[in-house]
Structure 1
Amino acid sequence: MHQAQVREAEAPENDVHYEWADRSQYWLSEYEASIPKRKRRERQTHPLILTGNGMSMRVNRGALVIRDGFTHYPQKNEECRLFPGSLENPPRILMVDGSGEITLDAIDWLAEQNVSLIRLRWDGRVVSVVGQRGYAADPEKVAWQINARRDEAARVAVGIPLIRKKFEGTLANLGEFFPDAAPKDRAVRTAEAALRELAASPPSTVASLLGLEGKVANAYFAAWSTIPIRWKSLDKQPVPDDWLTYKSRSALRAKKVPTNRRATHPVNAMLNYVYGILETRTRIQVIAEGYDPTRGIVHGDGASGRDAYVFDLMEAGRPSAERRVLEILAERELHGCDVEVSSSGICRLNPGIARLLCTNLD
């Protein structure tokens, strides 16, 4: 009998441990398949990414021995060996969350081989950098970011493909999830006109490009008011009247100045949650590829701890994140217990609906 069949026969129905192991193995294989093939005399450019509990680095007979952490059970303990001067050595090693240990000899080895070790929090923010430069980013890529930021034409060239993809995703969402109504028609016309403008006479400045993006976003979110929000057990668990529809992307009750943060509506809370996941994924990708997340090109350099380059790249992925919220609204009835409201009116999602939002999130 095939190994998977044996395991299925032995495991109880819907056993979450086996499902977790299968999915973990699936994503590990997807990660390995994503690493580009390297030519024989070509230096490795792909970073080595580690995570889980029990990670370790030590030096043995002049080589760096790296052990990956455990993320699920059952799991085979993965170990690799890097040799001095080898073309196989990655330009940087990322430790994402997890736990483990590293010896002083290993730190010295990394510095001698000019390999940066970058420690990231669960949300992708840099905790520490170990290496000869003490800097997480690739200087050549950062130089490109700086030069592109100084050149208006280069900024627009970077921004247009991102905004175009955002418009295309917006139109796809409008076509699939929104009922026929005047706000939807207006949003579709606005997005289609913006796409034609990008093709025929693209903006020459970033301000004009972002102004065009703002028009599409305003029309798009105005159309969200037509989406029915279904609540069950309202007699036992009533909700505020303004939760019966979705009319504003801003948390109007949270502050005198409208803001998207600190959501006061469940839909805004869900949007903020999926945007947060998108931000974390994008930040990890940016750091893994050697860019400086704070060196914005379209949105400008980051301020107050916000990583502008991450927000540049996030634009193209926002419709996919919004799509997950739209799917939940289309397929599920909400309940008052899905949201916890603080004394200031700020919504916090139930962990169950937060988990569901993460499922099948592109």
Structure 2
Amino acid sequence: MHLLNTLYVNTQDSYMRLDNDTLRVMVDDETRLRVPLHHLQAVVCFGRVGISLPLMHRLAEEAVALVLLDENGRFKARLEGATAGNVLLRRAQHNQSMNPAFALDFARACVAGKVRNSRQVLLRGARDAKAASDAAALTRGAQDLAATLRALPDAQDLDVLRGLEGEAARQYFERQPMLVKADLRLDFSMDGRTRRPPRDRMNALLSFLYSMWMNDCRSALEAVGLDPQVGFLHVLRPGRAALALDLMEEFRPFADRLALSLVNRGQIGVDDFLVREGGGVSLTADARKAVVVAFQERKQEEVQHPVLAQSLALGLVPLVQARLMARAIRAEADVSGQVSGYLPFLVR
């Protein structure tokens, strides 16, 4: 596997055009960037970014996804070429989505991956805490999430499972402020998870990072031929990429850890946010650029994959997980001849 680049175009009123086999980004008739098309997996545009029709056609031909987001990272549209993958895999996926037992087991694995990885964030925070009270509170939060993990096998339907996931998320975000340095908590406090719009700085930063992980998860599913709209944990709704949301659950703690690093290291500060009328909070243009750079750098970091038993770039893990999802949906046997369900990626 080769980790291709995602080009994030954040400069407002910029324009992209095709130049032979190269994508050219221009601002005020000045060329700012040239990128060979064969280096790209996706092009993500934030806000007011123009694009030529020849480039749109070429991106579709080269199977390079074009994603349009608003300035705050909220999804608007996506352009893709011909549908990839084996139609038999998609048919199996659609059939399995109507199999209650399979859907419950698959969704349970997604929730378990998210909760376990979130618990690791709290445990790491407890180890690094400067104050004993913070360490104790974070440890109690980790114990609460461990209790959720023990309860998952007894969830007999999706509604109960979703209730456990929601309660785990509430407990996790209740402890999240204790992961921020004490002198920064006043400016980066959060009263639970808020979105559309985010109501505080930390929520705005998390929403932006989640949107980028979401794009990578959706691209990974499409690369292996799965339908990102048909999931198991998330309720099916028109326009919702339910399977991409299912896959993304285990990666949310990676976004959380990056957000905390950016804040605690001072790479993102109080002045990097805008407070809009009505109380919505968003990142400034320069802050978005800084977050995108940090996100791309983090994706290059090597991690150990427990199923493959080898190290690979973090940015490749969604693709590996998408393939594991496809194997579970097909009910394929592993190397030992056993047929197992979906195995989420777990942080060590």
Q: Please state which band the TM-score falls in when normalised by the shorter chain.
A: 0.5 to 0.7
**Greater relative contact order (Cα < 8 A, sep 6+):** 2
Q: Secondary structure at the match of 1:121?
A: strand
Aligned pair partner of 1:224 in 154, 176, 187:
176
Secondary structure of the 2:173 match is helix
Q: Distance in 1 between matches of 2:92 and 2:84?
A: 15
Runs of 5+ consecutive residues of structure 1 not aligned to the other structure: 1-27, 33-51, 57-66, 80-92, 233-240, 251-259
Secondary structure in 1 matching 2:282: strand
Write the mapping of 1:171-320 to structure 2, written as runs, cut at 5 A. 171-178=119-126, 179=129, 180-198=134-152, 201-228=153-180, 243=187, 245-250=189-194, 260-303=195-238, 305-320=239-254
**1:331: which partner in 2?**
265
CA shift for structure 1 position 171? 1.6
Report the Cα offset of residue 221 of structure 1: 0.6
Q: TM-score, normalised by structure 1?
A: 0.60
Of structures 1 and 2, the larger Rg is shown by 1
SS of 1:302's partner is coil
> 2:173–2:192: 8 Å Cα contact kept in structure 1?
yes
Q: What SS does the aligned partner of 2:192 have?
A: coil
Is contact 2:123-2:139 (8 Å) kept? no
Q: Does the 8 Å contact 1:296/1:309 carry over to 2?
A: yes
Structure 1 partner of 2:67:
121
Gaps of 5+ in 2: 6-15, 26-31, 45-50, 70-74, 300-348
**What is the alpha-carbon distance in structure 1 between the residues aligned to residue 225 and residue 68 of structure 2?**
18
Shift of 1:300: 2.4
CA 1:181/1:318 → structure 2, altered by over 3 Å: closer, same or farther? same
Aligned-residue identity in percent: 21
Say if 1:292 and 1:137 are closer, same or farther in 2 by CA, change over 3 A. Answer: farther
> Does the aligned pair in 2 maintain the 1:69–1:77 contact within 8 Å?
yes
Q: Distance in 2 between matches of 1:153 and 1:286?
A: 22
1:140 and 2:94 aligned: no
* Distance change in 2, residues 1:156/1:117 (3 Å): same
Q: Report the CA distance between 1:145 and its aligned residue.
A: 2.3
Instruction: Pick from 151, 156, 177 the counterpart of residue 99 of structure 2.
Output: 151
TM-score between the two structures when normalised by the length of structure 2: 0.62
Residues in 1 aligned to 2:117 and 2:98: alpha-carbon distance in whole angstroms: 29
Compared CA separation, residues 141 and 202, structure 1 to 2 (3 A): farther
